[in-house]
Homo-oligomer: A and B are copies of this chain.
Amino acid sequence: MTMIEIPTAIHRADDDLPWVDIGDGSLLKVLQIKEREGLWVIRNRFMPGYQVQTHKHTGPVYAFTTTGAWRYKESDFVNRAGSFLYEPAGSVHTLECIEDDTQVWFHMYGVNLNLDDDGNVASVSDGRGTYDAYIAMCEAQGLGTPDVVTD
């Protein structure tokens, strides 16, 4: 038998996985992808004015904010330190950061269908693509090849 023993847990310390600059001072860290499940777990540090194109999720998403403030243009609530956000599959929204050093943890299933003004799918963001970009940016920025959890 060649099956792997289930470990007690797989740990990544804060310093194990670097922050990469994704433009204008906003930062990204990819913690884990389960490509075959469609799961991606990431952390973001957004700067004010950072926006994420209107998108529709194909699976559920869970977000936990630890500093700063951000919102969806479609909603009244503001995510601040300690906020929990649940986004069911099928939900559609447009993210904008409104305070400095806004840190968010995202646990996401499926993909982001990025929508144009007519509601058509202009592009798709997913865990594997985000992982590939993270690895490439880390290497390009001299941060080495990060050991993202890839089960």
| Minimum distance in angstroms from A83 CB to a CB of chain B | 5
B contact residues around A87 at 8 Å (CB): 8-10
B contact residues around A62 at 8 Å (CB): 32, 41, 107
Interface contact A109-B9, CB-CB below 8 Å = no
A121 at the B interface (CB under 8 A)? yes
Interface contact A38-B11, CB-CB below 8 Å = no
* Copies of this chain in the oligomer: 4
CB closest residue in chain B, given A6: B90
Interface contact B6-A37, CB-CB below 8 Å = no
| Minimum distance in angstroms from A60 CB to a CB of chain B | 6
Interface contact A58-B38, CB-CB below 8 Å = yes
| Minimum distance in angstroms from A12 CB to a CB of chain B | 5
Bound complex: CA of A128 vs CA of B5, how far in Å?
A: 11
Complex interface bits, A50-88 against B, C-beta within 8 A gives 1, otherwise 0:
000000001110101010000010110101111111111
Complex interface bits, A108-151 against B, C-beta within 8 A gives 1, otherwise 0:
01110100000001001010100000010000000000000111
